[in-house]
Structure 1
Amino acid sequence: MAAQPSVVVVEDDATVRTVVAEYLRADGYDVVAYSDGSTALAALASDLPDVLVIDRMLPGVSGDELCIDVRRRSDVPVLMLTARGSVEDRIGGLERGADDYLTKPFAMRELQLRVRALLRRRVGAAGSSDFSVGPLRVDPAGRRVWNGADEVVLTAREYDLLLHLARHPERVFTRDELLQAVWGWTFGDASTVTVHVRRLREKIEVDPGSPVYLRTVWGAGYRFVPAGDGHVAR
């Protein structure tokens, strides 16, 4: 029998922590829950789950700090929970490496679906062949990307976004189209896409401020241009 996918929940509110853990266990996950960032940080130093669910506002070590620490050494999908629903707050969580977020209060069914989507994308497309586009080589089965001989370290959502764009070179996608194709959202904050595009550019472009591969089509959206302009991204 295959092992159950593992989820770590870090939430200081006892009621929310208990309910979230119970719902995820009911969905077939092996769940470990922590009430503070410091304990979680120590535990995650030696053992990372398949998906990490973090409350942004934690005592001691904050959810932001925890996310940054995990992101330095892993692409494990991170779903951030936040009681602050402003665009700036959501962008702040994404910029610290979160792949997705939910604003409190949220429906437990939505939480289950978000975790399920993160896990499904992490498993990858077994049997898919490697392919090259522009300066990049993509391994869909292993969810890995190389720029020449150098591997590009991407978060789960950064990878999903790059894979979608790379599989449709030269095609222009609106932010809403990318939200639906990559995040599975039929509605949501389009700034989520903006943040992830910026993070991708920082990793594949020579000059992220003047991108030659991942380009903005003003008034329309984004497109991936394999030919660039003759430069090789580093």
Structure 2
Amino acid sequence: MKLLIADDDPQMVRALRITLAAHGYEVITAADGAAAITTAAQTHPDIILLDLGMPKMNGIEVIQALRGWTSAPIIVVSGRTGSADKVDALDAGADDFVTKPFQVDELLARLRALARRTAPAAGESTVSFGDVVVDLSAKAVTRAGARVHLTPTEWRMLEHLCRHPGALVTRQDLLKEIWGSEQVSDSGYLRLYMSQLRKKLELSPAAPVHLLTESGMGYRLVL
């Protein structure tokens, strides 16, 4: 499970990285609020640990920005003990609040609880939007019950979006996923494949409601 730690305390980050990595988590870090948003968009973490008092953007602003495109669980880890801070964080979209200093066992328990809450049910491997059903295991797509043929590239693009529903998927992510390199030049290929997907899967391809373009950034699948 991929974990993003956003905190400007290098000692805290180092201790958490060592401890959580030892428990099987893949840990990535960010040292300020702006970096937290950028890193989350690039790496799509499963859970986010976020300090409230960071430079450039405070924790509340980061939560609000993240909630604009991701539903990944957010645990606020903060030295602030006031109830107002906790309420503000939860109202902004945080899922849990841990006050520093804390016991590692408590944090691990909360991480496990959030992972259970957000994990798909055993055997669940389908994503549905509109009259479309995408079976990720069978690599099959149906629309209104009829099989839809996708090219291999169209499938890889759709599959990647389906594995991150609601999240912004950047052009760089898609280029790396489809062609295996972030260095591949996008000469309109992504727009072409997205246009084809919309023709096959959207009720009105010219006015899509599920396969959306985020101008200058990438694409988003809205269920």
Q: Give the conservation status (yes or no) of the 8 Å contact 1:23–1:112.
A: no
SS of aligned partner of 1:105: coil
Q: What corresponds to 1:9 in structure 2?
A: 5
Q: What corresponds to 1:45 in structure 2?
A: 41
5+ residue gaps, structure 1, are 129-152, 155-234
> RMSD in angstroms over aligned alpha carbons?
2.4
Of 36, 40, 50, which residue of structure 2 is paired with 1:54?
50
Deviations 1:84-122 (A, max 9, x none): 112211111101100001011111111111112111211
Of 83, 88, 91, which residue of structure 1 is paired with 2:84?
88
Deviations 1:147-205 (A, max 9, x none): xxxxxx99xxxxxxxxxxxxxxxxxxxxxxxxxxxxxxxxxxxxxxxxxxxxxxxxxxx
How many percent of aligned residue pairs carry the same amino acid?
33
| Alpha-carbon separation, structure 2, partners of 1:31 and 1:127 | 27
Is 1:102 aligned with 2:98? yes
5+ residue gaps, structure 2, are 125-164, 167-223
Question: Please, what TM-score do these two structures have when normalized by structure 2?
Answer: 0.53
SS of aligned partner of 2:4: strand
SS of aligned partner of 2:75: strand
Is 1:30 aligned with 2:26? yes
Q: Give the conservation status (yes or no) of the 8 Å contact 1:77–1:98.
A: yes
Deviation at 1:20, TM superposition (A): 1.2
| Alpha-carbon separation, structure 2, partners of 1:36 and 1:116 | 25
The one-letter amino acid paired with 1:56 is L
Is 1:20 aligned with 2:16? yes
| Alpha-carbon separation, structure 2, partners of 1:111 and 1:22 | 14
Is 1:119 aligned with 2:109? no
Q: Summarize the alignment of residues 102-181 of structure 1 with structure 2, pairs less than 5 Å apart.
A: 102-127=98-123
Q: What corresponds to 2:209 in structure 1?
A: none
Runs of 4 or more consecutive aligned structure 1 residues displaced over 4 Å after TM superposition: none
Deviation at 1:127, TM superposition (A): 4.8
Q: Summarize the alignment of residues 59-78 of structure 1 with structure 2, pairs less than 5 Å apart.
A: 59-78=55-74
Q: Give the conservation status (yes or no) of the 8 Å contact 2:30–2:39.
A: no
Rg (Cα) greater in structure: 2
Question: Please, what TM-score do these two structures have when normalized by structure 1?
Answer: 0.51
| Alpha-carbon separation, structure 2, partners of 1:87 and 1:108 | 22
Equivalenced residue count is 129
